[in-house]
């Protein structure tokens, strides 16, 4: 995950360099800078139009706002088309330079907006929700978790293992995940899993958690776990919050956000290995699914 995030940042950096290489066939002047400022000034209008359009389709204000920010940049394909047009003499080089500047600066503007998109939405939430439709989208978050005593947020490998264990000890459990493919697979395998986006602050206000005693945050993203913990405590949730972490520096922020338990599953993997190893020596060890039936004891 860390490598992916680093490579993504490098890709964005080199992409901007590519725009400048393709487009800057000449040095920019005041005229080309003026041309570039026109589409840049229209970025807020572009975001607003996407926001309103997605609201018409019944999406939540949060989803529409985040999507609008993601679509704020201008396409590099427009730059390629403009460069090809200049090559065939359809436009002069000033238009290519202006397009290159506009595309590159649109990425530079959109980068911090997307980085702090959730914080920006939090500040504008009350105003943005005014435009939200009263009818909910079919894929919107659930309101009730039924009689579940434990909620597992994030149904990947770790979350699935936690879900199975909680069910084995007799607790009523429900899983939540933002991947519809995972939700459908878990439903086919007999698990009770519902669609939900843990990064949506409104989710924790819509859910009825009266019967939920424990919430296990098995999400891969640290910021999502911190946000979920903060929102749960903000809405007054008094139950136990448990969260996973990978790197030592992630533990303190997760606990500070409101989690009661921070679990490093890499550090605890050795405990599970030793437990299963000695389980093979004990009577009845053959009943464990990860122990070979004909193991010698």
DSSP structure class, residue 178: S
CATH of the domain at 272: 3.40.50.720
**Is residue 157 located within the same domain as residue 266?**
yes
Residue 94 lies in a domain: yes
pLDDT in tens, 202-237: 787 778 888 899 999 999 888 889 989 998 998 889
Strand order in the sheet with 150-153: 193-195, 173-177, 150-153, 214-217, 240-245, 261-264
Residue 296 lies in a domain: no
pLDDT band at 253 (very low <50, low <70, confident <90, very high): very high
Over range 81-98, report the average pLDDT.
Answer: 82
CB 196 within 8 A of CB 203: yes
**Is residue 168 located within the same domain as residue 279?**
yes
Would you call 282 helix, strand, or coil by DSSP? coil
pLDDT band at 255 (very low <50, low <70, confident <90, very high): very high
Return d(Cα 106, Cα 41) in angstroms, integer. 10
pLDDT in tens, 258-278: 999 998 877 777 776 777 677
pLDDT score for 92:
82
pLDDT score for 19:
63
Residue 9: is it exposed, middle or buried by C-beta count within 10 angstroms (0-12/13-18/19+)?
exposed
Residue 142 lies in a domain: no
CB 202 within 8 A of CB 62: yes
Rounded percentage of the chain residues whose pLDDT exceeds 90 = 32
Residue 136 lies in a domain: no
pLDDT beyond 90 at 198:
no
pLDDT score for 52:
94
**Is residue 127 located within the same domain as residue 163?**
no
| Closest of 209, 172, 177 to residue 195, by C-alpha | 177
Residue 143 lies in a domain: no
Q: What phi-psi label fits residue 156: left (phi over 0), alpha (psi between -120 and 50 degrees) or beta? A: beta
Over range 166-179, report the average pLDDT.
Answer: 93
Over range 77-97, report the average pLDDT.
Answer: 82
pLDDT in tens, 124-169: 888 998 888 777 666 555 567 888 999 999 999 999 999 999 999 9
| Closest of 121, 132, 182 to residue 152, by C-alpha | 182
For the chain, the domain total comes to 2
Tokens of 183: 């939700």
**Is residue 127 located within the same domain as residue 173?**
no
Over range 282-295, report the average pLDDT.
Answer: 58
Q: For strand 193-195 and strand 214-217, is the pairing parallel, antiparallel, or unpaired?
A: unpaired
Over range 250-255, report the average pLDDT.
Answer: 92
pLDDT beyond 70 at 48:
yes
**Is residue 126 located within the same domain as residue 161?**
no
**Is residue 198 located within the same domain as residue 122?**
no
**Is residue 181 located within the same domain as residue 84?**
no
**Is residue 273 located within the same domain as residue 173?**
yes
**Is residue 162 located within the same domain as residue 281?**
yes
**What is the domain extent for residue 176?**
150-287
pLDDT beyond 90 at 176:
yes
pLDDT score for 290:
60
Torsion angles phi and psi, residue 46, rounded to 5: -60, -45
* Exposure b/e, 112-134, CB count within 10 A at least 16 = b: ebeeebbebbeeeeeebeeebee
Return d(Cα 114, Cα 247) in angstroms, integer. 24
Boundary of a domain, candidates 61, 96, 131: 131
Residue 297 lies in a domain: no
**Is residue 184 located within the same domain as residue 254?**
yes
Is the model more confident about 48 or about 78? 48
What mean pLDDT is reported for the chain?
82
3-state helix, strand, coil in the chain (%, to 5): 60, 10, 30
pLDDT band at 173 (very low <50, low <70, confident <90, very high): very high
**Is residue 38 located within the same domain as residue 102?**
yes
Residue 226 lies in a domain: yes
pLDDT band at 50 (very low <50, low <70, confident <90, very high): very high
**Is residue 234 located within the same domain as residue 123?**
no
pLDDT band at 193 (very low <50, low <70, confident <90, very high): very high
pLDDT score for 60:
82
pLDDT score for 136:
65
Residue 155 lies in a domain: yes
DSSP structure class, residue 144: B
């Amino acid at each position: 995950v860390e490598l992916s995030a680093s490579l993504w940042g490098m890709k964005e950096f080199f992409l901007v360099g590519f725009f400048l290489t393709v487009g800057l066939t000449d040095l920019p002047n005041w005229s080309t800078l003026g041309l570039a400022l026109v589409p840049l000034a229209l970025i807020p209008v572009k975001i607003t139009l996407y926001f309103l359009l997605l609201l018409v389709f019944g999406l939540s204000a949060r989803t529409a706002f985040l999507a609008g920010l993601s679509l704020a940049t201008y396409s590099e394909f427009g730059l390629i088309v403009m460069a090809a047009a200049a090559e065939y003499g359809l436009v002069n080089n000033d238009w290519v330079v202006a397009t290159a500047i506009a595309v590159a600066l649109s990425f530079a503007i959109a980068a911090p907006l997307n980085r702090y998109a959730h914080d920006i939405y939090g500040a504008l939430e009350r105003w943005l929700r005014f435009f939200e439709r009263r009818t909910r989208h079919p894929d919107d978050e659930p309101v009730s978790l039924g009689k579940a005593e434990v909620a597992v947020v994030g149904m990947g490998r770790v979350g699935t293992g936690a879900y199975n264990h909680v069910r084995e000890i007799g607790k009523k459990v429900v899983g939540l995940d933002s991947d519809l493919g995972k939700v459908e697979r878990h439903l086919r395998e007999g698990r009770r899993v519902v669609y939900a986006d843990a990064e949506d602050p409104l989710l924790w206000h819509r859910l009825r958690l009266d019967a939920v005693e424990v919430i296990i945050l098995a999400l891969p993203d640290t910021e999502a776990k911190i946000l979920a913990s903060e929102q749960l405590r903000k809405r007054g949730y008094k139950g136990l919050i448990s969260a996973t972490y990978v790197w030592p520096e992630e533990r303190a922020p997760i606990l500070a956000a409101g989690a009661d338990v921070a679990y490093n599953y890499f550090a605890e993997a050795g405990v599970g290995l030793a437990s299963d190893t000695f389980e093979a020596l004990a009577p009845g060890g053959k009943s464990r699914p990860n122990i070979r039936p004909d193991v010698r004891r």
